[in-house]
Amino acid sequence: MKRLLSVLFLLAATVTAVIGVNVTYDHRAVVIDGKRRVMVSGSIHYPRSTPDMWPGLIQKSKEGGLDVIETYVFWNLHEPVRNQYDFEERKDLVKFLKLVADAGLYVHLRIGPYVCAEWNYGGFPVWLHFIPGIQLRTDNEPFKAEMKRFTAKIVNMMKDEKLYASQGGPIILSQIENEYGNVAESYGPAAKSYIKWAASMATSMDTGVPWVMCQQKDAPDPIIDTCNGFYCDGYKPNADNKPTIWTENWTGWFLTFGGAVPYRPVEDVAYAVARFYQRGGTFQNYYMYHGGTNFGRTTGGPFISTSYDYDAPLDEYGAPRQPKWGHLKDLHKAIKLCEEALVATDPTTTSLGQNVEASVYNTSSTCAAFLANVDTQNNATVNFNGNSYHLPAWSVSILPDCKNVAFNTAKINSMATVRKFVAKSVGDKLSDSKAISSDWSYVSEPVGISSNDAFDKKGLVEQINTTADQSDYLWYSISINVKGDKPLLRDESQTTLHVKSLGHVLYLFINGQLEGSAIGNYDHPNFSKDFPVTLKHGKNKLDLLSLTVGLQNYGAFFDKTSTGITGPVKLDGLKNGSVVDLSSQRWTYQVGLKGESLGLHTGGSTLWVSGTPKSQPLTWYKTNFDAPSGDNPIAIDFTGMGKGEAWVNGQSIGRYWPTYIAPSTGCSECSYKGSYSPTKCLKNCGEPSQKLYHVPRSWLKSNGNILVLFEEKGGDPTQISFATQELESVCSQVSESHPLPMEAWSEDKSKSKPSVSLECTHPNQVISSIKFASFGTPQGTCGNYSHGECKTTDALSIIQKACIGSRSCSVDVSTTTFGDPCIGVVKSLAVEASCA
Ligand SMILES: *[C@@H]1O[C@H](CO)[C@@H](O)[C@H](O)[C@H]1NC(C)=O
Ligand SMILES: *[C@@H]1O[C@H](CO)[C@@H](O)[C@H](O)[C@H]1NC(C)=O
Ligand SMILES: *[C@@H]1O[C@H](CO)[C@@H](O)[C@H](O)[C@H]1NC(C)=O
Ligand SMILES: *[C@@H]1O[C@H](CO)[C@@H](O)[C@H](O)[C@H]1NC(C)=O
Ligand SMILES: *[C@@H]1O[C@H](CO)[C@@H](O)[C@H](O)[C@H]1NC(C)=O
Ligand SMILES: *[C@@H]1O[C@H](CO)[C@@H](O)[C@H](O)[C@H]1NC(C)=O
Ligand SMILES: *[C@@H]1O[C@H](CO)[C@@H](O)[C@H](O)[C@H]1NC(C)=O
Ligand SMILES: CC(=O)N[C@H]1CO[C@H](CO)[C@@H](O)[C@@H]1O
């Protein structure tokens, strides 16, 4: 009987699972099976992590309070060669979506297929560029045919796997095109007809779920136009029957090689999100919730770094970034407490004074309110609904019952953590050396032309047209004859080679020797440079190696952005004072490196010789290594190397470039108050933009792993080391005056007190020591607390007693627990602990 029952139960479960839900929308919200929903979404791009990381990322998204995972679909990853598709491993879109469904979350599938995303060529395959007569992203038949073919490919794949909500799957929304409204003007009248076509092409695919277009004010019905930005409060869609949706709320910003590391304070992210729901929004997406890593040559830009951490709530390696993750989790709980009121009616907003306003969602059965202080400096105390409320500057308080504050965006209850990468020796090393290996072999890459596929051409070529992005590298080679009897050149010190390039990086070799280099940056990939050169009498070989560092991904006609040495290239320093222009002479070209054509990245080939030449440009290095022990995330610290690409067991972990240093200025103190911009909050000025590079654990065996590097400039591989991410401290600081912790909301409110909660994130660890505890007026931040003037004497022992040996603990922030060291002063409790 029991067995029969469970069979019946299973049958019932299967039946409900295949019955689809009806996703529609109205002016308030996305409507699922007739019910309006308030939803929180977060972006995770599946190829920016590995399949073994996906379940953990999705689980932490769910715990963080997300309802929806949003991802782009990356056309150039899935169709590297026209009509040859790849959906394996990191590209296994279906597997990713099924894992999201298994976790009980919904999906917003942004097909694009133009995706921007700081991704190479905005996600377009470069082969599109070579289709005769094609014009991308406009009303052009060859382009529309390709876009429709790929969109249909993905839609049909989703349908075959029953992944649309209408079929019982997780996909409730889908996006066509991407931020086209930002650039449409440049495409003239064709923009309008293109968008009309894209809208009807998409809706004709009959997915059973709504489509959206972001940053597209003229999105044709029934497509919902949505907002992207740092703030989207006040956004109104283009028709009364469409809900207000925020498809990209930038949780931070992307890093570039040559830039400092951007971050966005969580108080400001929370403020932006609360303002959005306050002013009528019902669906908001964090871009990114997990940023991850640009493996291989997938970065766009140009100059986007390999790390795509984005200061997201989940860090590059998948760990919760605290307090960001936790504070937003508390925010989501507060918003969910308001859901019934939010979907029932429109808000009524009234001014409570200068820069202070209340929005109330009030019906006969339910009431929720948001009180906002949009002043960038001044705190405010306001009267609302018969009570008095303190509103810190640039903050929103959420009152799910129009009376009690469940959350204030500027007051963080969540725990903070400090995670650090700690150098780790590998294998059973006898020495203390943290080097990955002292035992390397190498292959020297020939300078200049070495391939039978090299070709001659008069004049300088454009790089993307020439390489079709099959490689970062393009050789431009030429010979110059300096006649011995009647020397052409003035004094050698006065001879210069002037090179103008559209980017992105250039190395100049003269007679086989590296003479100099030039680099662009994110804002200006192009450069002009005068290289002092030394030429000998007779024939001189000039080899210019031009590199791309990710192709343009944004802007009108971004696909037509040129790169490479388009000239002029001139030699200055002739005896008679004139300049020799080499630009229109006959050059020899080679796409890619010899080592690339030999497949050296796998570590195969018989060319490897033992040894570790240092500071030698154009060198392939190889070593074997054992995986660092434990299960914490791993990175390689590339300090000591110049620039290049690295492969672990044949898989590219991306371009490395630890020698590109961020500007030394621009990192001054940053307040969360006031409008955010990508340059407002920066750190690591004067340091390498990126020195740590993620090595996914799942790419490693316990021993016998192969690491291959291709170094362009010259470096010392014996200096590079593994580092593992370690949890240094967990901290919390909570004030007596903080709103009640969210857990207490549904309990007896009169009894609950604000509390400090700590938890070791690793399941096998417990709180092992209390590094700091103070009740009174402590100062500082996690890792850096100090006592204030007011403090009790026994805070440390109270916390030790409550926490040591437990995985988590919670202590009330109250004079009942600690006594009162300074009557009349608002006190807080700060604790720093470590886990082991
Ligand atoms: C889906 O819901 C909409 C409105 O909520 C309704 O008009 C429509 O008939 C429903 N469709 C199905 C298939 O139930
Ligand atoms: C909500 O509406 C009721 C009935 O109209 C009214 O009495 C009450 O004051 C309103 N509450 C708020 C906070 O505006
Ligand atoms: C404003 O409020 C915050 C948080 O409640 C507090 O720390 C700060 O001292 C206040 N500032 C002023 C000028 O009162
Ligand atoms: C790079 O290009 C920009 C815009 O085309 C131009 O203004 C600038 O002068 C160029 N810089 C160099 C160093 O050539
Ligand atoms: C590639 O070549 C075509 C035709 O020669 C030219 O129109 C186009 O501008 C070039 N592409 C780039 C990116 O320069
Ligand atoms: C200077 O010498 C170069 C190289 O021989 C020649 O091409 C050029 O025409 C000369 N210029 C003048 C002004 O004589
Ligand atoms: C720690 O605090 C001290 C004094 O407040 C300050 O000088 C120092 O820069 C802080 N260090 C960090 C890492 O924040
Ligand atoms: C690209 C884009 O939409 N940028 C916007 C991001 O949000 C800020 C603040 O609202 C705007 O100023 C930018 O224009």
Q: What is the predicted pLDDT for the residue at 491?
A: 67
Query: Residue 391, class by beta-carbon neighbours within 10 Å (0-12 exposed, 13-18 middle, 19+ buried)?
Result: buried
Q: How far is the CA of 206 from the centre of ligand 8 (A)?
A: 33
Residue among 574, 581, 584 to mutate when testing ligand 6 (max atoms within 8 A of CB): 574
pLDDT at 261 over 80: yes
pLDDT for 18 beyond 80? no
Of 334-338, 414-418, 478-482, 706-710, the one with minimum mean pLDDT is 478-482
**Distance separating alpha carbons of residues 95 and 827, to the nearest angstrom:** 50
Q: How confident is the model at residue 741 (pLDDT cuts 50, 70, 90)?
A: low
Q: Which residues line ligand 5 (CB under 6 A)?
A: 462, 464-465, 560, 562
Residue 267 parent element (H or E): helix 266-278
Tell me, in angstroms, the distance from the centre of ligand 3 to residue 507's CA: 54
Among the listed residues 215, 246, 239, 223, the one whose alpha carbon sits nearest the alpha carbon of residue 38: 246
Q: Which of 70, 79, 177, 248 is catalytic?
A: 248
Cβ of 564 below 6 Å from ligand 3:
no
Atom number in ligand 2 closest to CA 362:
1
Q: Which atom of ligand 1 is nearest to the CA of 34?
A: 5
CA nearest ligand 5 atom 8, residue: 560
What CA–CA distances, in Å, run from 802 to 326, 734, 759, 832? 22, 16, 12, 13
SS3 482: strand
Residue 146 known to be catalytic: no
**Ligand 3 pocket check for 379: Cβ under 6 Å:** yes
- Give tens-digit pLDDT for 155-196: 999 999 999 999 999 999 999 999 999 999 999 999 999 999
What is the chain's mean pLDDT, rounded? 93
- The predicted-structure confidence for 275-290, as pLDDT tens digits, reads as follows 999 999 999 999 999 9
pLDDT band at 16 (very low <50, low <70, confident <90, very high): very low
Q: What is the dihedral of CA 821, 822, 824, 830, to 10 degrees?
A: -70
pLDDT beyond 70 at 521: yes
- CA atoms within 13 A of residue 515's CA, in its CB half-sphere: 21
Q: What pLDDT, on a 0 to 100 scale, did the predictor assign at position 231? A: 84
CA 784 to centroid of ligand 7, rounded, Å: 6
Mean pLDDT, range 769-791, rounded to an integer: 96
Residue-level pLDDT at 1? 40
CATH number for the region 455-592 comes to 2.60.120.260
Binned at pLDDT 50, 70 and 90, residue 809 comes out as very high
Ligand 7 near 784 CB (within 6 A): yes
Say what the pLDDT of residue 593 is: 98
pLDDT at 435: 84
Which of 303, 500, 502, 526 to mutate for ligand 4's pocket (most ligand atoms within 8 Å of CB)?
526
What is the pLDDT at residue 329? 97
Q: Please report where in the chains the tokens 């839609």 appear, as a residue.
A: 155
| Distance from the alpha carbon of residue 781 to the mean position of ligand 7, in angstroms | 8
pLDDT tens-digit profile of 286-318? 999 999 999 999 999 999 999 999 999 999 999
Tens-digit pLDDT profile for residues 55-65: 999 999 999 99
CATH architecture of 427-445+598-625+633-719: Sandwich (2.60)
Res 789: pLDDT: 95
pLDDT confidence of residue 454: 97
For the chain, the straight-line distance linking the first and the last C-alpha, in angstroms and rounded, comes to 48
- Ligand 4 test: best mutation among 501, 521, 524, 560, most atoms within 8 Å of CB? 524
The strand pair at 692-695 and 407-408 is best described as: unpaired
Q: Please state the atom number of ligand 8 nearest to the C-alpha of residue 232.
A: 10
Site to substitute for ligand 2 among 366, 367, 401, most atoms within 8 A of C-beta:
367
Q: Please state which CATH number belongs to domain 20-319.
A: 3.20.20.80
CA-CA distance, 131 to 123, in Å (whole number)? 16
The region, left, alpha or beta by phi > 0 then psi within -120 to 50, assigned to residue 165 is: alpha
427, pLDDT greater than 70:
no
Task: Give the pLDDT band (50/70/90) at residue 542.
Answer: very high
Mean pLDDT, range 475-486, rounded to an integer: 85
pLDDT at 718 (0 to 100)? 94
Mean pLDDT, range 465-474, rounded to an integer: 98
Q: Is 241 in the pocket of ligand 1 (CB under 6 A)?
A: no
CA distances to 72, 112, 370, 570, 646 from 76, rounded to whole Å, are 12, 12, 44, 37, 21
Q: How far is the CA of 555 from the centre of ligand 4 (A)?
A: 17
Query: What residues have CB less than 8 Å from 114, skipping those under 6 apart?
Result: 122, 123, 124, 136, 137, 177, 178, 180
d(CA 191, CA 172): 27
Residues with CB under 6 A from ligand 6: 488, 574, 576, 578
Q: Which residues pair with residue 829 across a beta bridge?
A: 734, 775
Q: What is the model's pLDDT at position 248?
A: 81
Residue nearest to atom 10 of ligand 5 (CA): 465
Among the atoms of ligand 2, which is closest to the Cα of residue 385?
Answer: 13
CA of 379 to the centre of ligand 3 (A): 6
Q: Are 43 and 68 in contact (CB under 8 A)?
A: no
Check pLDDT > 90 for residue 747: no
The amino acid sitting at 106 is Y
pLDDT digits (tens, 9 = 90+) for 382-412: 999 999 999 999 999 999 999 999 999 999 9
Q: How far apart are CA 789 and CA 767, in angstroms?
A: 28
Q: Are the C-beta atoms of residues 249 and 285 closer than 8 Å to each other?
A: yes
Which helix (H) or strand (E) segment is 516 a member of?
A: strand 513-519
DSSP state of 103: T
CA of 132 to the centre of ligand 7 (A): 60
The encoded tokens of residue 427 equal 């294998």
What's residue 538's pLDDT?
A: 87
Find out whether the peptide bond into 663 is cis, omega within 30 degrees of 0. no
Are the C-beta atoms of residues 198 and 214 closer than 8 Å to each other? no
248 is catalytic: yes
Ligand 4: nearest atom to the Cα of 527: 13
Q: Supply the angle between the helices 93-102 and 54-63 in degrees, to the nearest 10.
A: 40
* Cα Rg of the chain (Å, integer): 30
Please indicate whether residue 3 or residue 545 has the higher confidence score (pLDDT).
545
pLDDT tier for residue 763 given thresholds of 50, 70 and 90: confident
Determine whether 417 is exposed, middle or buried from the number of CB atoms within 10 Å of its CB (0-12, 13-18, 19+): buried
Side-chain-side CA neighbours of residue 457 (13 Å): 12
Split at pLDDT 50, 70, 90, the class of 751 is low
**Peptide bond between residue 313 and the one before it cis (omega within 30 degrees of 0):** no
Task: State whether the beta carbon of 526 lies less than 6 angstroms from ligand 4.
Answer: yes
CB-ligand 7 contact for 780 (6 Å cutoff): yes
User: What pLDDT digit, counting tens, does each position of 579-602 carry?
Assistant: 889 999 999 999 999 999 999 999
Asked if pLDDT for residue 250 goes beyond 90, the answer is: no
Is residue 14 scored above 70 in pLDDT? Answer: no
Q: What is the pTM assigned to this prediction?
A: 0.94
Q: Which of ligand 3's atoms lies nearest the C-alpha of 392?
A: 2
Alpha carbon distance 694, 300 (integer Å): 18
Q: Which of 22, 31, 164 to mutate to test the pocket of ligand 1 (most atoms within 8 A of CB)?
A: 22
CATH-assigned architecture of domain 728-835: Sandwich (2.60)
Task: Give yes or no for residue 404 CB within 6 A of ligand 2.
Answer: no
